[in-house]
Amino acid sequence: MIAVDIEKKLKAYNGQQVLQVKKAFIPGSITRITGPSGAGKTTFLKMLAGLITPDSGIIKTKTLSWFDAVQKINLPPQQRHIGFVFQDYALFPNMTVKQHLEYATTDAPWTNRLVTIGGLDTFADHKPNHLSGGQQQRLAILRALAIKPKLMLMDEPFSALDIKMKSALIKDLQMLFAELGATALIVSHNPQELDGISTDELEIG
């Protein structure tokens, strides 16, 4: 379980607003995160990943405290072992599809399997600028999965995929999450996108 109770002041165009989230995420659950633009959905995910520091509060798993403002605990992202899919994909322009996954893990059978799931077999030696938008987005998801995370944070991960590809990938992801015992938090603007697979919902803002 991941328990979160954090606060962070956000700069908005009309002054400041406070992002407040208090929620517990059950292991293996898939939570859909919704909310208006600029409400702090990305900031929330980055705080969970340790990429942004909350102003106050706690983030803890069953066994470990990731963040505790009072006790001054703040585990770096490297030690949180989180799969993060960035909204802008954040792919490395210098690496091919295969190198992306090899950078993340040395588990070759696992990377091969991921490449196949993502339908990127024939593109294994391509760099991101030779991939389509949908392929880039899939690569971003595969790279996050490569480290076999227990927590997946996905920031609008299906926005560039067509409906057919999306539903196939979502099915595969559901299976992989179950296999890894991963909890997933997915920011999604499309209300139908996660119908039938999300088990929980969090509204921000």
Partner 1 sequence: MDLSPIWLTLKLAAITTLILLVIGVPLAWWLSKKRSLVKVIIEAVITMPLVLPPSVLGFYLLLAFSPQHGFGHWLQQTFDVQFVFSFKGLVLASVIYSMPFMISPVKSAFQLLPVSLAQASYTLGKSQWQTFKYVLLPNIKPSLLTATVLTFAHTLGEFGVVLMIGGNIPGVTRVASIAVYDSVEQMDYAAANNYSLILFAITFAMVTTVFIYNKYQVKSPLE
Which residues in this chain contact partner 1 in the complex, by CB under 8 A? 46, 49-51, 76-78, 80-84, 86, 88, 90-94, 103-104, 128-129, 143-144, 146-147
DSSP secondary structure code for residue 54 in this structure: -
Count how many residues are written for the chain: 205
Nearest to 17 by CA among 49, 51, 70, 55: 55
Rounded to a whole number of angstroms, the minimum distance from the CB of residue 164 to partner 1 is: 25
Residue 67 bridge partners (DSSP): 59, 74
Residue nearer to partner 1 on the CB measure, 103 or 189: 103
Residue 149 bridge partners (DSSP): none
Rounded to a whole number of angstroms, the minimum distance from the CB of residue 22 to partner 1 is: 24
Rounded to a whole number of angstroms, the minimum distance from the CB of residue 165 to partner 1 is: 21
105 and 174 in contact (C-beta within 8 Å)? no
Rounded to a whole number of angstroms, the minimum distance from the CB of residue 183 to partner 1 is: 15
Residue nearer to partner 1 on the CB measure, 83 or 157: 83
CA angle 147/3/159 to nearest 5° reads: 55
Residue nearer to partner 1 on the CB measure, 153 or 204: 153
